[in-house]
Chains A and B, each alone.
Chain A
Amino acid sequence: MLELRKDIFADERDDNLKEIGKGTQRQDMLGHVTGTSTYFDDHKLQGMLHLKVVRSVHSHARLRRIETTEAEQSQGVRRIIRGADVPRNLNTLLSLINFGKDDEPSLAVDKVRYKGEPIVAVVADSPREASEAMAKVRIEYEPLPTVFDVEDALKPGAPVVNETYPKNTFTYYEKYDHQKLRFGDVERGLAQADHVLEQRYQMSPIEHAPTETNGSIAAPDTNGRYTVYTSTQALFFSVDTCAKILDVPSNTFHFIGGTVGGGFGGKVDTITEPLCILAAMLTGRPVRYVLGREEEMQYGPPRGAERIYITDGVMRDGRIVARKVRAYFDSGAYTRLSSYAAVKCAAHLPGPYTIPNVYGDVYCVFTNRTPATAMRGFGVTAMDFAIECQMDKLAHIVGMDPMEFRILNAYRDGDMKAHRREAKNTALIECVQVAAEKAKWPLRDEFKRASSRQGGGGARAVVPAATREAHAPTVAAAQQRTVYDRAPATAPSREPPPPPPPRPQAPSHGAARFSSVFGTRRR
């Protein structure tokens, strides 16, 4: 039982917590409407230098030679930073919780694994001088074969993206190349089903596109510490990540953040702070490192793409009796948080439904694409998208109303979930009922009367014995199999896509109305 020590600070606290039903002003609102909320980039420091990063132009290449002599002599340049200057130039974000192996350098040394990977950092008096010096960095690449498709990456002989994971998959528990979920006997369930539906779902990477781009400012303090203003969404996480990469105790840093100009998950990767602090250490000056809009859109980490195959077995009365899922999470070139995203995929693949036979394989795959990161329910959203599309199609196949179909299959209190946890405090049925009512969607009486608190448990609470050996059960004689094959019929070619059709006359709204000459709005 949680103990609340209400005696502490009792005199400073108003115990009236009756806030529901009335508006309460945000504490940062006054700062926002007066423009005085301080974002990381709103600090002007004496003698501040500017850091910019030279990025790989190849998606996969060996670095033969990095020549910086000319750049070092460029006007206004204070320092060129290379991989060898980074104290611990290999890290993985979740190493802080002992999950995964260090696989990503701050600055690439021997090889680049995605287009836009940082190779050299230039620190100069002004952004312009940094840009001019960047153009003078010469990098000799030896392009390597690339792989951009999650399934191609798992084929034998596929290019190895990240040598830390030679099979192009994240390794779970130092043993498994994917996440597994096994419950009941899915093959027998599918064999006995009246209808079997096989589908393929694909979700693209999605860029968060926050209005404020990722960035940070690091400044040497007089006490040997460094003050760091940052856009991070994960302040303490960033402190520890920087401490590890720079090989110093974490109390070396005083991180100041919390006012973030939009994040949505795209500011948890500690992208800018390590190099920014390192530059401040090497120059003894405040240093600012801000991603430009192009960098943010092109090389900032997106929500990872997912490819999901679902095979469901359903009976004529609408009960789902088996679900088999194979899913691939595109991690890009490095792990970052995708290993965790794949765990969440596996956790969500049965959906909020009671299905007696569930089988799932989820792979966290490395490709030569931009490393993926967190974004609003990453790992869950794509899986839920696939599952709920599938639910609509299944309802259609058995001729049921999609709302009633969900109520029929929803888990109820006392049911055993495929993860071997008892379902408690379930409320999907009630949610569907309310949604139907609000949408004036007619439900039959038996579904209006259904309750999450009734009909669960009993036979539905049993953990079925899982079968280990492969066997081919006899398929029900009357079974109907439906495959909506949306996959491209032939292997996807690498040819450039055809030119887009001519655009219709643009309506006069949005950014299109800005003149690029004077920055005024055309009327």
Chain B
Amino acid sequence: MSKTALQFRHNGRDVAIFVDGGTNLLVALRELIGDMTPKFGCGQGGCGACSVLIDGELHLACLTLAETVAGRSIETLDGIKQGPNLHPLQRAFADNFAAQCGYCTPGMLMAAKALLDRNPQPSRAEVIEAISGNICRCTGYEPIINAVLAAASSRARA
């Protein structure tokens, strides 16, 4: 099978890979780049576990053809730490007990980051709306919503 050369930015670093036709971004990130933070949950766009940012916009990696991200900038949970320090959202998730099994957490955090990046002071309803495409089967939505709100207010104080 012929392979296509593909170059993009991954968490601020230029990367180049060869992909088969039809390869989705989730497979490209996990198997070819080695970034295991986006998770496979359904492969159908139903669960949000593979959520990543493409040029700052929230996307589902499992439904994104890898070839469509050529030249674009991909951000995953692996890239949101600020040096050795946790991102305020990561800190808020930890402090608010917003993870149980942890499998939806990378996607949740990316959805939350996409929200706070464009709306630093969201209402509770806006937080709910922002994570409505991310399924948490341990059903810890309340602590997750609280964590996002806590991160927003801590950022406002800072």
Q: Which residues of A contact B (CB under 8 A)?
A: 23, 25-26, 28-39, 41-42, 44, 128, 208-213, 259-264, 290, 292-293, 509-511, 513-521
Whether the Cβ atoms of A520 and B58 lie closer than 8 Å is yes
B103 touches A211 (CB 8 A): yes
Across the interface, which residues of A come within 8 angstroms of B116, CB to CB?
A: none
Interface of A is mostly: loop
| Contact present for B63 and A514 (CB under 8 Å) | yes
Minimum CB distance partner of B68 in chain A: A518
Cα A308 to Cα B130 in complex, Å, equals: 42
Chain B residues contacting A28 (CB-CB under 8 Å) are 102
Contact B36–A35 (Cβ < 8 Å): yes
Q: Which residue in B36, B63, B64, B135 is a CB contact (below 8 Å) of A42? A: B36
The reply to whether A519 and B137 contact each other, CB–CB distance below 8 Å, is no
Contact A212 B103 (CB under 8 A): yes
- Bin chain B's interface residue count: 35 or more
Residues of chain A with a CB closer than 8 A to B42's CB: 293
> B109 at the A/B interface (Cβ < 8 Å)?
yes
- Residue B101 contacts which of A261, A510, A515 (CB distance < 8 angstroms)? A261
Are A509 and B132 CB-contacts (below 8 A) given A35-B105, A260-B101?
Answer: yes
Query: Which one of B41, B76, B132 lies within 8 Å of A212 (CB-CB)?
Result: B41
Shortest distance between the CB of A491 and any CB in chain B (Å): 37
Please measure, in the bound complex, the distance between the C-alpha atom of A205 and the C-alpha atom of B49, giving whole angstroms: 25
- B122 touches A (CB below 8 Å): no
CB distance from A7 to the nearest CB of B (A): 36
Nearest CB of B to A213, in Å: 8
The complex places the Cα of A232 from the Cα of B46 at a distance, in Å, of 23
A32 and B132 contact, Cβ closer than 8 Å, known pairs A39-B39, A42-B36, A514-B45: no
Nearest CB in chain B: distance from A287 CB, A? 15
- Complex: A42 Cα to B49 Cα, angstroms: 14
Give the contacts of B36-51 with A (CB-CB under 8 A).
36-37, 39-47, 49
The reply to whether B133 and A41 contact each other, CB–CB distance below 8 Å, is no
Q: Which residues of chain A come closer than 8 Å to B60, judged between CB atoms?
A: 514, 519-520
A30 to B137 alpha-carbon distance, docked (Å): 20
The distance from the CB of A265 to the nearest CB of chain B, in whole angstroms, is 12
> Which residues of A have CB within 8 Å of B106?
35
Q: With an 8 A cutoff between CB atoms, is B113 at the interface?
A: no
Question: Which residue on chain B has the smallest CB distance to residue A25?
Answer: B94
Q: Are A292 and B43 in contact, with the CB atoms below 8 A? A: yes
Q: A33-B86, A514-B63, A516-B63 are in contact. Are A209 and B57 (CB under 8 A)?
A: no
B137 engages A518 (CB within 8 Å): no
* B76-108 to A contact mask, C-beta < 8 Å, 1/0: 111001000010001101100101011111100
Q: Given known contacts A35-B76, A35-B77, A521-B133, what 4 new A-B pairs fall within 8 Å (CB)? A: A44-B31, A511-B46, A520-B59, A521-B59
Q: Which A residues touch B78, using CB under 8 A?
A: 35
Residues B77 and A29 in contact, CB atoms below 8 Å apart: no
21 pairs from A and B in contact (CB 8 Å cutoff)? A32-B102, A33-B109, A35-B77, A35-B105, A35-B109, A209-B137, A210-B103, A211-B135, A213-B40, A260-B101, A262-B101, A262-B103, A263-B101, A293-B41, A511-B46, A511-B47, A514-B133, A515-B63, A516-B45, A518-B68, A519-B59
Q: Look across to chain A and name the residue whose beta carbon is closest to the beta carbon of B63.
A: A519
| Alpha-carbon gap, A259 to B63, bound state (A) | 26
A516: nearest residue on chain B (CB-CB)?
A: B45
Q: Name, among A35, A36, A42, A210, the residue most crowded by chain B CB atoms within 10 Å (CB to CB).
A: A35
